[in-house]
Amino acid sequence: MGNIHFELIVIGGGPGGYAGAFRAADLGNQVLLVDKFNSLGGVCLNRGCIPSKALLHLAKVIDDAKSIELLGVKFEEPTLDIDKIRSWKESVISKLNEGIAQMAVARNISRSTGIARFLSPNSIVVKETNGDITYTFDDCIIATGSKPAKIPTFPEDPRIISSNGALSLKDIPKSLLVIGGVYIGLEMGTVYHAFGSKVTVVESMSSLLPGADVDLVKPLQKKLISDFNKIHLSTKVIEIESDSKGLTVHFETTNNETFTGLFNKVLVAVGRKPNTDTLALDKAGISTTDRGFIKVNDKRQTSVEHIYAIGDITGDPMLAHKATHEGKVAAEVISEDKSASFDPKAIPAVIFTDPEIAWAGPTEAELKRDGIPFIKGEFPWKASGRAIALDRTEGKTKILADPETNSVIGIGIVGTNAGDLIGEGMLAIEMGADAEDIGLTIHPHPSLSETVANAAEIINGTITDLYIPKSK
């Protein structure tokens, strides 16, 4: 068989890859989509965003059932059917897998299942089930995503797991250590706590979720301190010993204090690394950073003009929604849309714990660090009728604005459903809206969305749901 030619080959069928393939096909391109798995959707759908959120939904139901007892409604202690939970989680994934596959068929996109590597700047070989097949292309989009980072000094033990292992729900350990106080660690810690594990978190930094505003983290940290067995900050793991009794973990604080703990399982959640090691990028002449990320411009072009890279392999932030938009931009550039570029004013981040934390644009801490002037409107949910009715008053909504123009430059929310609320702030940032635009927009009452308008009204000096004394 001779080489098979396509106008565009997309390597990787995750959120960015299939979005890029679909958009390119819609624009008239002949597309081959390559992925090492038969099911499309990538890590996000199959082993990340979607299954974790499905399990977090169950965790929230369990937590809400316990909390609501204080309001006069008591449920029986929940019983867990892990096999049934696992089956339901897999059904969620399957439904979405099938939807993506059907959309690929509807767009006449060709597919190849296997591991791809470059042979030259215009060709790849895919190791498929029936052997190697060579493909040539005019353009290529690399969207191979990332994988959990490992700590090489840790022993090889099935009880030391990554996020992939945690999401498989093989069993619920009596005790679980989470290494890394970042989003995936805290999300999975929340799930396993709700399912009955004694959860301990260790984080080398002085606060959970480094990079998020400390004042947004405080309500979450307060709740997790109550829920989890222990949270060790400014502490690192220096050694893990494994034996029949469990995993003995040795800790060291920044003050050089040492202590040990015994755990049934350890979840390593210390970041992710790009999936570029099997691509043979050097054969295509593609430049990477010291950490293995592919360098791209605002068109998502690599150092080779007709080869594009999107998503996690291009570096932080490693977020599915960022990859999706990058994929569409790359497809449009390939289809000769000269105006297409990836130049967002902000990219939203959401931590799907309970309470949720969401932010977009620079944080207050970043603005202070960089010496950028700003004004702030911060509305406490203790003054929100909807939050009070939900018994969820720990939250707050914060808008950061330019002091000269009042234009919104950043927004941060902590509280239930913060991830759903952040969209309005994102739209304001992208459209160049000012605080007055938000404050004058009529929001439904009673709703948590009102807190966004309330925060804007504080900046405008028009707030009536709080009394703020006038400065003299």
Catalogue the active-site residues: 445
Residue with token string 């018994």? 391
The CA–CA distances, whole Å, from 446 to 357, 385, 395, 443, 464 equal: 21, 6, 16, 9, 15
Beta bridge partners of 333: none
164/169 Cα distance (integer angstroms): 9
| 122: number of Cβ within 10 Å | 19
Residue with token string 């043979």? 280
Beta bridge partners of 133: 126
Residues 182 and 158 sit within 8 Å (Cβ to Cβ): no
Cα pseudo-dihedral 167, 171, 174, 176, rounded to 10: -30
